[in-house]
Copies of this chain bind each other. A is one copy, B any other.
Amino acid sequence: MIEGAPMNRRSAAAERGPARAASREQIAWAALAISDEHGIDSLNMRRLAAEVGLSPMGLYRYFRNKEELYEGMVAAASEEVAVDLPEGDWRERIRALVRGMRVALERHPSAVELRLRRPMLTEGALRVTETGLSALRNAGFDRATATRAFRTLWLYAFASAAFNAPRAPEETRRLARATLSALPPDRFPEMTAAADEAAATMSGDEQFDFGLDLLVDSLERRLDASGATG
């Protein structure tokens, strides 16, 4: 929960209209649901208002404008990242956190798109960073390295959710495979030969873990090196 939003409206006038909205947060979730399913451009105030049982203008009591609604959506989505990490090895802890980020972000592609437009320092997002920094610091990284490392992992999770999670993975792969193998081999020798492999890298757990392992392996190596030196 981000703030003490009014949760007591429903009892007052519940029967009228469909699914009457009770709070900023509930409206933000409804907005997320619409734009995750139909695309961010299909979210409009009139549609959202109907969804939560308000007049279009009624929304402006909860959000000053659409931009503020967007902020609420990002805040809602970032609440969903799991921050209870397994005990034990720091590599497994950080891997679990980054995997959890990706899962949550893939569920809310529109939140990723909104985050792209402007950094949003919501409490949910800060909690994730705090958890990641803490895991890395406890592993033995100095403060500067830990912050740079977490930012890199954070970027990787966002990138995977943003670019490696198409709405229709199978269709995307098929299209990519067809396009690549139809290229002129004299100018695109590698891609025509690797059409299948390239299509396979455009989504999926295997690709995600490949990159995550690259990052974590390097970090481990640096930690060992600094431990040997200092």
Chain A positions near chain B (C-beta within 8 angstroms): 39, 112-113, 115-119, 121, 126, 129-130, 133-134, 137, 143-144, 146-152, 155-156, 158-160, 162-164, 166, 172, 175-176, 179-180, 183, 187-191, 193-194, 197-198, 200-202, 206-207, 210-211, 213-215, 217-219, 221
Contact = CB atoms under 8 A, between A and B. Distances in A.
B162 A207 contact: no
Nearest to A166: B119
A60 B134 CA distance: 55
B190 A130 contact: yes
A172 B119 contact: yes
A100 B130 CA distance: 32
A121 B151 contact: no
Contacts of A179: 121
A159 B129 CA distance: 17
